[in-house]
Structure 1
């Protein structure tokens, strides 16, 4: 059994709509009411998120802040872009701390576009396992994928065609 198969089985991971595998591991019993008019949400949610080599998390956004934490495997390329795609997407490398700027944690502010993919290495495996915490907690009503035919997708294809593969 490969490490990916072991993680999927042990952590009881299921396919995620954005790509990859996930399992919710925590949903706070406490609730908060966001200031933006959304109904009450759990104060915090947390998931395991697994991406295999050659797979990616599609461009999406969440209406709450999201914290990504690298747990094991290959480094993760986490791409973020402002909600209106006015500036070039930024790349953050998540993984063990090194002198080149790799860090184990990154926050994606509410409403920003985000996408992710494993960075292939010869020593770290063919997958990446991360934890993602969202506060206020994730409700799939607050989650949206970048639609293929949307204005945002057209902007991505025009200005950053190398990142359009993540749509």
Structure 2
């Protein structure tokens, strides 16, 4: 039997499951504290997941309604994160990672509620944690590819669908 790859080891060690946007994840925390959003929907105050993107995979364009999402680099290779405001425009790029000699790498980025986002590893794999507040619910999650292409926001790169 061949040895497990680093990606396979991480999936096994952290008991990760496939995510609909791509990559692998596991929810680590869902706050028991409930909050009410301005639209009247109740959610956990905060949720936290581990999220693994293997090289060559993408976190497809998606958005979370009614909640901000922060991405925190944990390990592996740097990760490229794209963001688009709801109406579209030029994608805003962030690179997450750690390298003292590279000031373009940041350990954290925040995606505002309702903004489109997509990501990819710039190497063999990238491991991040993502926090959503108010807490994540799949009822608030939307993949761009599930929408009519005529409604895609300008700037949504087709290769990331």
Same fold, TM-score > 0.5, yes or no: yes
Question: Which of residues 46, 52, 55 in structure 2 aligns to 1:53?
Answer: 55
Q: Could you say which residue in structure 2 is the equivalent of 1:123?
A: none
Q: Could you say which residue in structure 1 is the equivalent of 2:136?
A: 138
Superposition TM-score, scaled by structure 1 size: 0.88
Shift of 1:3: 1.4
**Inter-partner Cα distance in structure 2 for 1:11 and 1:84:** 36
Stretches of structure 2 that go unaligned for 5 or more consecutive residues are none
Any runs of at least 4 consecutive aligned residues in structure 1 with deviations exceeding 4 A, and if so which? none
Report how many aligned residue pairs link the two structures: 155
For residues 12-31 of structure 1, the aligned pairs below 5 Å read 12-31=15-34
**Inter-partner Cα distance in structure 1 for 2:104 and 2:79:** 13
**Inter-partner Cα distance in structure 2 for 1:151 and 1:143:** 20
**Inter-partner Cα distance in structure 2 for 1:152 and 1:7:** 37
**Inter-partner Cα distance in structure 1 for 2:9 and 2:78:** 19
1:121-159 Cα deviation digits (max 9, x unpaired): xxxxx1000000000000100000003633343x54xx5
Superposition TM-score, scaled by structure 2 size: 0.91
Is the Cα–Cα contact under 8 Å of residues 97 and 104 in structure 1 kept in the other structure?
Answer: no
Q: CA RMSD in A?
A: 1.4
Q: Could you say which residue in structure 1 is the equivalent of 2:6?
A: 3
Shift of 1:97: 4.7
Per mean C-alpha deviation after superposition, the further-off stretch among 16-25 and 90-99 is 90-99
For residues 1-167 of structure 1, the aligned pairs below 5 Å read 1-37=4-40, 39-63=41-65, 64-85=67-88, 87-98=89-100, 99-120=102-123, 126-147=124-145, 149-153=148-152, 155-156=153-154, 163-167=157-161
Shift of 1:36: 2.2
Stretches of structure 1 that go unaligned for 5 or more consecutive residues are 121-125
**Inter-partner Cα distance in structure 2 for 1:24 and 1:89:** 28
**Inter-partner Cα distance in structure 2 for 1:92 and 1:139:** 25
